[in-house]
Structure 1
Amino acid sequence: MTTLQTAQAGQTDTIVPTASGRPGPGVAARAARRLVGGSTRLVLLVVAVFWLLPTVGLLLSSLRGPLDIGSSGWWTVLTKPAQLTLHNYTSLLDDPAITHSFLNSLLITVPATLLVVIVGSLAGYVFAWVEFPGRDWVFLLIVGLLVVPLQVALVPITSLFGDLGIFGSIVGVVLFHVAFGLPFAIFLLRNFFAGIPRELLEAARLDGAGELWLFVRVVVPLGGPAIASLGIFQFLWVWNDMLVALIFADADSAPLTVALLQQTRAFGTNVDVLSSGAFLSMIIPLVVFFAFQRQFVSGVMAGALK
């Protein structure tokens, strides 16, 4: 018998044995291989080009003068490159409010990302491999916090920060982002760390490794893709946030998103200022994403395979 017929739910898939006697790939696997070809890559390239068009349009608009923006579309730069100028950026960066808010964005985003990654990694390891009473119930409570809307906590936390004297400061904004970023971080990393082979950890313990050494030297290197993915997500969420900053940050601690909103109110329809400010706000997340792109893809694929 040269072929094996398998039928499920009224459908038949033929599996052809190989020379070694093992079944070869089925119809679905062969169809998937055929899709990975030149035509598929061409379609993906077209999709990528259309996906990047808004970013390219924003960049070219930010390099045009206000009269050019008001009279024609950004694509006219392709035939009239003389429209390109850096005047919009020089004017924007000469504004002390913009430069100060850019620094505030870094002072908010970097600590909020690092704290979530560090605390989330430690907690994820504890919930995955450390036995203590009520561990599963505490983890279920943390998972339940994922469904709590951010808006529900705005009023009580505003009152709490006012009593603590940190309302309107960078510290208050950072703590709010950390508190709402930790449930997802713990949930993500706990599930990833739980997939590490137990035999590997037991072998390290038999060699005399403590929990901290085990976490730093074994778990963190193996969980690097998941940790990098979490860091990218958290950085993008905090950097692009406006709601939390509008409520908990004052004029001295406002990030770039709030400063751009204030510039919109001040300049009205000056799209040259808005386009350059918007691209300035977008370039940092793009740099972070492309810097850790390989780790991000590895973490997503690892989570999919699990």
Structure 2
Amino acid sequence: MTTTTAAARPKTSGVESGAPRRGVISKIVDRVGGGAVQVIMVVLGLFWLVPTLGLLVVSMRTTQVNNAEGWWTVFTKPAELTIRNYQNLLGSGFTGSFWNTILITVPTTVLVIGIAAMAAYAFAWMDFPGRDLGFLIVVGLLIVPIQIALIPIAVLYGGSGIFGSIPGVVLFHVAFGLPFAIFLLRNFFVGIPSSLLEAARMDGASEWKIFATVVFPLGKPAIASLGIFQFLWVWNDMLIALVFADSGNQPMTKYLQSQMRQFGSNVDILSSGAFMSLIVPLIMFFAFQRYFVQGMMAGSVK
């Protein structure tokens, strides 16, 4: 027995089995690597914020000071800061364009999310004739550029009497936002375990109740991500506003673009208006940041 056991043991010849020993340099890299990455990310983040800081400083100084000095001199002359530019901005036509932007962006985002979520559920879990063909058509619409639809839609709006109105701008954004929204949500809804839906059907739940109580709550990460993207796309859009919104219904982007004609004399309006346009998207992002991160990471790990 002893001889057999000894023969069965592999000969190591003085070499230890298992993972190879790590050198001192590798250990130092592991210890410093995490901190170094964090430092690099912080530096890049601060570098990315420099233009935003410069915009804020410019928006809080008079035009004469901005034309004479760089924004970085504020660190030695903080007394030059003032809120007069924002007071003048809120007393101009910017306030009306701000509310027009909200009236365009919020309904568009809500309609896109609601319609796309229901359509995505149908494409993912309902069996009906032409389902696959319909989804292929939706995917094909993703590559249709907006520019080729401007003239036909303008003619259609002119005949229906909604050209230049806020509902016309909303409908255009909804139509071109739905293909991507349906594609995104459908791919997310497919990953929901089918056993949950089958259990709900066995309990007598209708398709609408399954969608409202099972699919929609589980799809919150993807829906939040879609909501943030759609909100930012519409909030920052200028092309559709230039074509389909008249002067009485113009959003902020069109209002600020109209001020570019006198850039040398109204940089105070442009800078303060541009910084005001950042506030609502930042609030939107930080309010749904947790769901946004979950939606971006969904599907990356099986």
TM-score, shorter chain, exceeding 0.5: yes
- Unaligned runs of at least 5 residues, structure 1: 3-13, 17-29
Determine if the alignment matches structure 1 residue 135 to structure 2 residue 131. Answer: yes
Q: Is the 8 A contact 2:63 2:265 kept in 1?
A: no
Residue matched to 2:286 = 290
Q: Distance in 2 between matches of 1:292 and 1:35?
A: 33
Could you give the per-residue CA deviations for residues 225-276 of structure 1, whole angstroms, max 9, x where no partner exists? 1000000000000010011001001111111111111122256442111100
Secondary structure in structure 2 of the residue aligned to 1:305: coil
Q: Distance in 2 between matches of 1:33 and 1:215?
A: 47
Q: Distance in 2 between matches of 1:181 and 1:161?
A: 18
Determine if the alignment matches structure 1 residue 90 to structure 2 residue 87. Answer: yes
Q: Distance in 1 between matches of 2:144 and 2:33?
A: 41
Amino acid at match of 1:88: N
Q: Distance in 1 between matches of 2:282 and 2:31?
A: 33
- Mean CA deviation greater in 61-70 or 169-178: 61-70
Q: Is the 8 A contact 2:259 2:266 kept in 1?
A: no
Q: Is the 8 A contact 2:59 2:85 kept in 1?
A: yes
Structure 2 vs 1, CA of residues 303 and 245 (structure 1 numbering), >3 Å: closer, same or farther? Answer: farther
Amino acid at match of 1:165: G
Secondary structure in structure 1 of the residue aligned to 2:100: helix
Structure 2 vs 1, CA of residues 153 and 65 (structure 1 numbering), >3 Å: closer, same or farther? Answer: same
Residue matched to 1:57 = 54
Residue matched to 2:34 = 37
Q: Which has the higher contact order (CA 8 A, sep 6+)?
A: 2
Structure 2 vs 1, CA of residues 15 and 298 (structure 1 numbering), >3 Å: closer, same or farther? Answer: farther
Q: Following TM superposition, by how much is the alpha carbon of 1:34 offset from its aligned partner in structure 2, in angstroms? A: 6.9
| Residue correspondence of structure 1 range 8-23 to structure 2 within 5 A | none
Q: Following TM superposition, by how much is the alpha carbon of 1:221 offset from its aligned partner in structure 2, in angstroms? A: 1.2
Could you give the per-residue CA deviations for residues 127-154 of structure 1, whole angstroms, max 9, x where no partner exists? 0000001101100000000000000000
Structure 2 vs 1, CA of residues 192 and 34 (structure 1 numbering), >3 Å: closer, same or farther? Answer: farther
- Unaligned runs of at least 5 residues, structure 2: 1-8, 11-16, 20-26
Q: Distance in 1 between matches of 2:214 and 2:193?
A: 11
Amino acid at match of 1:260: L
Could you give the per-residue CA deviations for residues 28-87 of structure 1, whole angstroms, max 9, x where no partner exists? xx9x98786111111111111111111111111111111221111111112211111000
Q: Distance in 2 between matches of 1:88 and 1:157?
A: 39
Determine if the alignment matches structure 1 residue 146 to structure 2 residue 142. Answer: yes
Cα RMSD, aligned residues only: 2.3
Q: Distance in 2 between matches of 1:268 and 1:167?
A: 33
Q: Distance in 1 between matches of 2:142 and 2:281?
A: 24
Task: Determine which structure has more spread, i.e. the larger CA radius of gyration.
Answer: 2
Residue matched to 1:70 = 67
Q: Distance in 1 between matches of 2:200 and 2:31?
A: 44
Q: Distance in 2 between matches of 1:186 and 1:36?
A: 41
Amino acid at match of 1:84: L
Q: Distance in 2 between matches of 1:240 and 1:303?
A: 29
Number of residue pairs aligned between Structure 1 and Structure 2: 282
Residue matched to 2:22 = none
Amino acid at match of 1:54: P
Structure 2 vs 1, CA of residues 303 and 238 (structure 1 numbering), >3 Å: closer, same or farther? Answer: farther
Residue matched to 1:237 = 233
TM-score by length of 1: 0.87
Structure 2 vs 1, CA of residues 33 and 15 (structure 1 numbering), >3 Å: closer, same or farther? Answer: farther
Structure 2 vs 1, CA of residues 104 and 44 (structure 1 numbering), >3 Å: closer, same or farther? Answer: same
Determine if the alignment matches structure 1 residue 220 to structure 2 residue 216. Answer: yes
